[in-house]
Structure 1
Amino acid sequence: MTGPTDGPADGPTDGPARARLTSYEHDGLTFDVADEGPIDGDVVVLLHGFPERASCWRLVAPLLHAQGYRTIAPDQRGYSPGARPTRRRDYTLGRLVGDVAALIGLTGGPVHLVGHDWGAAVGWATVAEHPDLVRTWTAVSVPHPRAFLRSWVSSTQGLKSSYMLLFNVPRLPELLQRRAPRRFEASLRRAGMTSDDVARFRSEIAADGALPGGLAWYRAMFLRGDALERPRITRPTTMVWSDGDVALGRKGIDLTPDWVDAPYELVVLEGVSHWIPTQAPGALAEAILERVTSA
């Protein structure tokens, strides 16, 4: 643990670490962390997606704090300035899961885990591979990976995900963002981002140099060995999906319960775009709280 602001350096092993985390180290990288809320509260780890950072939880976290929960939200691999390796193989699913597992280990775990977008994909894998580290799991927008893959051949999901092919073209998206930023940002607006969301992307991702690292998650998707080895989910799970999501269709959501061997609930938010944490923070916090209190 690096950067504690109070309490012992290592914290107890049987509950939440009683020291604030400002950063942590894993795999030779340094990750920035937003650690907020009651220091002695049960820990909720919040995993952001693309193209966002831990700040996407800024409206959700206070609602959890008000109910006594401590939130820990990392800037993940490729986003934290100290955690931006350049090789594609440094962004495989196993490495991303390893980053999350290392963070949970510092809290004294197990924790309540929440993930949006790519954070949900990593969260599904973390729960499957390390169920001992997780008490409850709330996935936001992205279904179980096996359900997602099945939806490609049984719905329009493949068409909705066609942008992933563009993201896999080396240097092209980065070049587009630099030379035609308005066109790049227009695609985010079409996906439902508000002006505030786009401004955050402009400052936290584009200007800060985090875009190549975020794109690297897509570019490592098809590397050998980047599959979910143990797909069954054995922790209480809530799936939160919005019907205004242009990137994730309903089919994968409906297939997700097939992979969950635990209490499961689907929460559908009507009239909300893909960016649930910033556009429906109250409804999302309610779903998270209902799941964590069930444990």
Structure 2
Amino acid sequence: MADYIEIPTEAGTFDALSAGAEGDRPVLLLHGFPEAAIEWREQLNVLGGAGCHAVAPDQRGYSPGVRPQEVFEYRQEALVSDVLAIADRLGWQRFDLVGHDWGAAIAWAVAAAHPDRIRTLTAVSVPHLDAFGRALREDEDQQRRSEYMQVFRRTGSDKLLLEDDARRLRRLYEHKIPETHIEEYVQRFSEPGALDAALNWYRAAKFADPIGQVRVPTLYVWSTEDPALGSTAALACGEHVTGPYRFEMFEEISHWVPEEAAEELTRVLLEHLIAHQDT
């Protein structure tokens, strides 16, 4: 079972879940929206028993101890800095990085900018940000899929998602993940300022600025029934990776891969880590 830990940094104190022994192979897992570190419970338990020290933090805005109010404090540079600060505090010079949804977006940026720190990258759902940015500009299908972002960026969108017993927030999960997780997410985001802070990731986002090539060994997982992310950017993802690249397509799976397809994702993740254990 994963243990609760706190990770103090200059930005504030991050809540996190940790499994495995200190000194084992370090693996950092970044959650997406609207979730938290608990989305990685299955992966944490398996990794912790497979010779890894796996840590999943509640990221900026999700941890009460790191919840700034200003939108600019959620820019990509700050989120990337958080990842490195967490790793530094854990004493990790190099580590394996795993991300889903927004966690994947930031993981891509970290791997592109700091390849010396990353042993391997595993990105789930969100493709390389340059491929995604191009699809947003040129692909009508992806533009339609991403229209929800404009709603999330509006002031008051947190209240819209939480009204009527969080009816719209609950609908986002599509009944694809454990009900206990949904209830925990709703409880967390019902805390004053919590959902608004998480939505600041959307408000601060800029997909026009290229992040560049990723040179580290990379696994990218995309699911065919993901309503937010179409095939155009997913299939182009490998064009932006110069290191060893593996693409996995999960059939009949929605956006919530770590929870909906936990066993399958954990299997390919372990295969990727083992394949590059000497990197």
| TM-score normalised by structure 2 residue count | 0.91
1:36-75 correspondence runs (5 A): 36-75=19-58
Letter of the 1:169 partner, please give it. R
Question: Which whole-Å CA distance do the structure 2 matches of 1:230 and 1:150 have between them?
Answer: 12
Identical-residue share of aligned pairs (%): 37
Question: Which whole-Å CA distance do the structure 2 matches of 1:230 and 1:125 have between them?
Answer: 6
Matched, 1:148 2:129: no
Question: Which whole-Å CA distance do the structure 2 matches of 1:281 and 1:126 have between them?
Answer: 24
Distance 1:212 1:127, change over 3 A: same
Question: In structure 2, the residue corresponding to 1:170 is in which secondary structure?
Answer: coil
Letter of the 2:139 partner, please give it. S
Letter of the 2:150 partner, please give it. L
Provide, for residues 83-121 of structure 1, a one-character-per-residue CA deviation record: whole Å limited to 9, x for no partner.
110000000000000000111223322000000000000
Question: Which whole-Å CA distance do the structure 2 matches of 1:230 and 1:219 have between them?
Answer: 19
Contact between 1:24 and 1:33, CA under 8 Å: does it hold in 2?
no
Question: Which whole-Å CA distance do the structure 1 matches of 2:182 and 2:86 have between them?
Answer: 29
Tell me how far 1:184 sits from its aligned partner: 1.2
Question: In structure 2, the residue corresponding to 1:60 is in which secondary structure?
Answer: helix
Q: Give the number of equivalent residue pairs.
A: 272
Tell me how far 1:159 sits from its aligned partner: 0.5
Question: Which whole-Å CA distance do the structure 1 matches of 2:181 and 2:225 have between them?
Answer: 16
Contact between 2:38 and 2:181, CA under 8 Å: does it hold in 1?
no
Question: Which whole-Å CA distance do the structure 2 matches of 1:137 and 1:37 have between them?
Answer: 19
Contact between 1:121 and 1:144, CA under 8 Å: does it hold in 2?
yes
| TM-score normalised by structure 1 residue count | 0.86
- From 202, 218, 223, give the equivalent of 1:237: 218
Corresponding position of 2:163: 179
Provide, for residues 34-62 of structure 1, a one-character-per-residue CA deviation record: whole Å limited to 9, x for no partner.
22212221011000010111111111111
- From 157, 164, 168, give the equivalent of 2:149: 164
Question: Which whole-Å CA distance do the structure 2 matches of 1:36 and 1:208 have between them?
Answer: 30
Provide, for residues 122-157 of structure 1, a one-character-per-residue CA deviation record: whole Å limited to 9, x for no partner.
000000111111000000000000101122212401
Corresponding position of 1:9: none
Contact between 2:130 and 2:211, CA under 8 Å: does it hold in 1?
no
Question: Which whole-Å CA distance do the structure 1 matches of 2:113 and 2:265 have between them?
Answer: 25
Question: Which whole-Å CA distance do the structure 2 matches of 1:189 and 1:103 have between them?
Answer: 28
Contact between 2:32 and 2:104, CA under 8 Å: does it hold in 1?
yes
Question: Which whole-Å CA distance do the structure 1 matches of 2:30 and 2:78 have between them?
Answer: 15
Letter of the 2:106 partner, please give it. V
Question: In structure 2, the residue corresponding to 1:31 is in which secondary structure?
Answer: strand
Structure 2's unaligned 5+ residue stretches are: none
Question: Which whole-Å CA distance do the structure 1 matches of 2:267 and 2:104 have between them?
Answer: 18
Provide, for residues 197-228 of structure 1, a one-character-per-residue CA deviation record: whole Å limited to 9, x for no partner.
42122122224642111100000014xxx765
Corresponding position of 1:278: 259
Corresponding position of 1:96: 79
Question: In structure 2, the residue corresponding to 1:183 is in which secondary structure?
Answer: helix
CA RMSD after TM alignment: 2.0
Tell me how far 1:231 sits from its aligned partner: 1.2
Corresponding position of 2:182: 198
Letter of the 1:235 partner, please give it. V
Distance 1:233 1:272, change over 3 A: same
